[in-house]
Amino acid sequence: MNFNKERIRYFSKKLTLRLYFRILSIFIFLGLMFFLTAGSIQYWEGWIFLFILLIPVLFFVTYFTRKKPDLIERRILKNRENEKDQKTIKNLFAIIFLVAILLPGIDYRFSWSSIPFSIVLCSDVLVLFGYIIIVWVIKVNSFASAIVEISKDHEVIDTGPYKIVRHPMYAGQLVFFLFTPLALGSYWAVIPFLIGLPVVFALRITSEEKYLIINLPGYKDYRRKTKYRLIPYIW
């Protein structure tokens, strides 16, 4: 019994170290994208955005590695898609994301946009709100994964945000990404997200639902009960 407890603690610590390394890598990458393209470390919108991300991410890691380490492994560390069409969609999103992340720094360097501080701040709050939705979904749904898959003992979740839309994780991500360019002080960076995200999310959700209808018992009934996929009263 003691051996099993020690083994669990060991894997929990190992998982936590992997997570912190992943988080550090992401923040270094984002920082380089922001400040190298901006050509200045005085790009204050970039600093605020990184800070807004850092606090909830640290809370997320601290809480879920203790409470739901298996979920963390599925959600963050396991990200290689098995479905061919999902791989294509993921690659498309990566291109859109890279373009939208590079533009704000370039925008700052050449002073293309002049966004009031109040709009930047409100956008940061909405970015945080989108992240809170994502964390709420993960807390409610222990089967949440970064890839499309059906895990052992997987069942349909119809509580919390899943009462409102069938894909609340993507709803949170939509809010998060759409307001990221404004939080970074760029009007121009809104364009790739505004054009690309609806397409990517529509393709991913449509593909994912086909998979869930075939492989997840009870999902057809859930679709009839919760009518909207992403945005209430719209789609």
- Identify the DSSP state of 77: I
3-state secondary structure 200-221: HHHHHHHHHHHHHHHHCCCHHH
User: The whole model's pTM is what?
Assistant: 0.82
CA dihedral 127, 133, 134, 137 (to 10 degrees): 180
Query: Quick one: pLDDT band at residue 48, thresholds 50, 70, 90?
Result: very high
DSSP secondary structure string for all residues of 1-55: -HHHHHHHHHHHHHHHHHHHHHHHHHHHHHHHHHHHHHT-TT-HHHHHHHHHHHH
* SS3 per residue for 118-183: HHHHHHHHHHHHHHHHHHHHHHHCCCCCCCCCCCCCCCCCCCHHHHCCCCHHHHHHHHHHHHHHHH
Q: How confident is the model at residue 3 (pLDDT cuts 50, 70, 90)?
A: very low
Within a 13 Å sphere around the CA of 77, how many CA atoms are in the beta-carbon half? Answer: 15
Overall fold of domain 2-225: Four Helix Bundle (Hemerythrin (Met), subunit A) (1.20.120)
Q: How far apart are CA 208 and CA 210, in angstroms?
A: 5
The string of pLDDT tens digits covering residues 172-212 is 999 999 999 999 999 999 999 999 988 899 988 988 888 88
Does residue 85 or residue 164 have the better pLDDT? 164
Secondary structure class of 184 (helix, strand, coil): coil
**Selected residue with higher pLDDT from 122 and 24:** 122
Say if residues 211 and 148 touch (Cβ distance below 8 Å): yes
Percent of the chain with pLDDT over 70: 80
Express each pLDDT in 7-19 by its tens digit.
Answer: 445 445 666 777 7
The span from the CA of 123 to the CA of 135, in Å, is 18
- CA dist., res. 175 & res. 131, Å (int): 8
| Digit-coded pLDDT (tens) for 120-165 | 999 999 999 998 998 888 888 876 665 555 566 677 888 889 999 9
Contact 111, 232 (CB under 8 A): no
